[in-house]
Chain A
Amino acid sequence: MIQVNQLSKQYNGTTVLNISDLEIPKGQSFGLVGNNGAGKTTFFSLLLDLIQPSTGFIKNNDIQVNTNEKWKSFTGSFLDESFLIGYLTPEEYFYFIGDLHHQNKADIDALLVKYEEFFNGEILNNKKYLRDLSKGNQKKVGIIATLIGNPEVVILDEPFANLDPTTVSRLKKIIKELAENPNVTVLVSSHDLQHTVEVCDRIVALNKGEIVKDIQTSRETLQELELFFAV
């Protein structure tokens, strides 16, 4: 589904990301782990054509992302709060994203009912604009919005950060469900090794922009990763 070819990103001569070859097959749930500055967000930004690669390219479903915009119709993503429109209520935001994916109000309502538990009664019908929600609740909105329009690729940057423990476990359930769908490729980045190992089939560890580990998840994965990141 996603092919990375000779991809690198440099800022003023410093290489922050360098991936010569990476292929993520369709239906895989892909976890990206690494310390701060490892290049996780840079990789996702490149994948979403928010920054320009210094060399190489990424193909999303055979579409090269920096030359063709067609990938936008089947890719859902949430990197940070700048993906939210502060002056809308959560419902209006969902409908707005829905409109862009040619989903009508009823489609969206049906989707929202499915995630009522995840919202924990703090999101819908609360007479609050998104800008006035707490960080955690904003994140809930952003995550669910990526699922609108039956995307084939879902990209979540640090989805577990800022969430309370109950919501984290509910989110893990949602991601696992997504991962079970053979048509959906999920990409998740995180600092949290345990959460990532739990929800992903495959884990790639980045360090200073380079891939240092690429493992299919097994019982020993967590230990292996913890050992790797321990000083």
Chain B
Amino acid sequence: MIKKFIYLEWKAFTRSASFGKSVAMKVIIGFFMIYFSLLFIGGGVGVFYVLKKMNLEPFETVNKFLIYYFLFDLIIRLLLQAIPVLNIKPLLVLPFKKPTIVHFSLGKTALSFFNWIHALFFVPFSIVLVLEGYSISGVILWNLAIIALIYINNFLNIILSNIDKLFVVFLAVIAFLGGAQYYKWFDITTFTTPAFLGFYNIGWMFLVPVFLLAGLYAFTFKYFKNNLFLDAGLSKKEDIATTEDLSWLNQFGTLGTFLKNDIKLIKRNKRSKTTIVMSVLFLFYGLIFFGNSHQPEVMQIFAGIFVSGGFLFVFGQFVPSWDSSYYQLMMTQNIPYRGYITAKWWLIVIATFVSTILASFYLFYGWQTYLIIVVGAIYNIGVNSHMVLLGGAFTKTPIDLSNAGGAFGDKKAFNVNSMLLSLPKIFLPLLLYWLGLHFADKTTGLALVAGAGVLGFIFKDKVFSLIEKRYKIEKYSTISAYKQKN
């Protein structure tokens, strides 16, 4: 029976709309996968010696921070890890046993990227531990415990993903624990470090997370099995419709019509709503770079682009896929392409502008820091907004706005692929800024980036004609790709 499932999965994978069509995309994703893998492996090998150099006992220090590692992992999962689901409905009436269906759905999540990426850190780290004279059996048991904990996170994510905005709670927990520890008020690690060390020292301790994992799996299994009915876990949640008065947008004519629609699109669909949350998170991205002397100076423009560009990267990236479910309507209505693209452009510009205003708290780092963000915003509006729209012509993956799946639905708006794809858009400003910095000074670097933005803005009409032409060329293949529901 499992063989049949694997067959179905394989077909679903190889016949999906996005598969095989864009080799270039796959190459880029592959490149970043390797990059991050190397980063993790490097971290696994390096962390031991770095900590030793800092006169800290490496193994103990790692164990000390593991609690934060796992909490962060859970947040990242809640935000990013899509729950892979089988297309369950048609299977229900076929001679498959329900437990098999559930076991397979759950088993599929075990193979996720979010699970094995950790191995890239822990395996090299463990090898270093053994080489440095730690006991092999202890390290193995410790690893078993870690694996169990990683999978506990995996299943927690599955259960908790039905609850909205939960990651905010976990974020608050981390902020609270971190803050409490920093101000020496309450230190969670004094309780957790012995536990993590215990996995290594005490032979039977690893059984605790293993049993926890088994229990959690049993619970998840039961929960899903009991919900395997059309009117339970597989049912569609119906929302009570609320209408808001956006008629003040009417004064902008056709543009207003589209803006009204886009605002409703963002407000009323889970997938698009997440983009707003992500944009806000992007605002704080600069905190890593500004006032941090460990980061090379050239990376500051990187942060400048990201702080104001959150919405651009997470929403703009998917234009016109947001309208994929009714793209045929758009193509038969009295809509000029120009108006459609312009409306999306304005939406991105407005969001970038608002982000820039909100980012004014960076003024605490001095006006020069804020200037970098403003320059980043100019570049975003002038160049990147055009780039995402142009890229949109080639985006042929339909977005299913209505998360019809209920408890089993894949409702995550973001996958790793799409995040990685936005990275090239920051290479050019990085290069410009670096050139300025290298051959002259910071001001020249900023002027170069801002200049590129202004230039893009000046040639907006030209670029729009180009984008419009591209959309028209791609029209038929886009329509046929959007017809394919995932």
| A→B interface (CB under 8 Å) | 48-52, 69, 72-73, 75, 77, 79-80, 82-89, 91-92, 96-97, 99-101, 126-129, 131-132, 149
Contact = CB atoms under 8 A, between A and B. Distances in A.
Interface in B181-214: none
B244 to A, nearest CB: 10
Nearest to A84: B326
A132 B239 contact: yes
Given A86-B325, A86-B401, A100-B257, A72 B334 contact: yes
A176 B257 CA distance: 33
Contact of B325 (A73, A79, A82): A82
Contacts, number: 85
Given A84-B326, A85-B326, A86-B401, A100 B335 contact: yes
Interface of B: 236, 238-243, 250, 254, 257, 260-261, 264-265, 268-269, 325-329, 331-336, 401-402, 476, 479-480, 483
A75 B257 contact: no
Contacts of A72: 332-335
B452 to A, nearest CB: 34
B264 A87 contact: yes
Given A82-B326, A96-B260, 5 more contacts: A85-B261, A87-B402, A89-B241, A127-B242, A131-B402
B243 A89 contact: yes
Given A72-B335, A87-B265, A82 B328 contact: yes
A97 B333 contact: yes
A87 B401 contact: yes
A142 B328 CA distance: 13
A77 B329 CA distance: 9
Given A51-B476, A87-B401, A132-B238, A82 B336 contact: no
B331 A50 contact: yes
Most buried by B among A72, A80, A101: A72
- Provide the main secondary structure of the chain A interface: loop
B227 to A, nearest CB: 20
Contacts of B250: 99
Contacts of B265: 87
A92 B261 CA distance: 9
B334 A73 contact: yes
A109 to B, nearest CB: 14
A159 B111 CA distance: 46
Contact of A85 (B236, B254, B329): B329
A52 B479 CA distance: 11
B333 A92 contact: no
B334 A79 contact: no
B332 A77 contact: yes
Given A82-B325, A86-B401, A129-B241, A101 B334 contact: yes
Contacts of B260: 96
Nearest to B402: A131
A142 B269 CA distance: 21
Nearest to B242: A127
12 contacts: A50-B328, A51-B476, A51-B479, A77-B332, A82-B325, A82-B483, A84-B326, A85-B329, A87-B265, A91-B243, A132-B236, A132-B239
Nearest to A128: B241
A50 B479 contact: yes
Contacts of B401: 86-87
A184 B334 CA distance: 18
Given A97-B333, A129-B239, A82 B261 contact: no
Contact of B329 (A69, A83, A89): A83
Contacts of A127: 240-242
A100 B268 contact: no
A92 B264 contact: yes
A83 B268 contact: no
A82 B327 contact: yes
A49 B331 contact: yes
Contacts of B476: 50-52
B238 A69 contact: no
Contacts of B239: 129, 132
Contacts of B326: 82-86
Nearest to A90: B241
Closest 3 CB pairs of A and B: A99-B257, A87-B268, A83-B329
Given A89-B243, A96-B257, A131-B402, A83 B332 contact: yes
B413 to A, nearest CB: 14
Contacts of B336: 69
Most buried by A among B236, B243, B329: B329
A50 B236 CA distance: 30
Contacts of B269: 87
Contacts of B479: 50-51
Given A82-B326, A86-B325, A128-B238, A50 B332 contact: yes
A60 B240 CA distance: 41
A129 B242 CA distance: 9
A62 to B, nearest CB: 18
Nearest to A51: B476
Contacts of B241: 89, 126-129
A85 B260 CA distance: 13
B268 A92 contact: no
Contacts of B325: 82, 85-86
B402 A75 contact: no
A51 B325 CA distance: 17
B328 A83 contact: yes
Most buried by A among B238, B242, B250, B334: B334
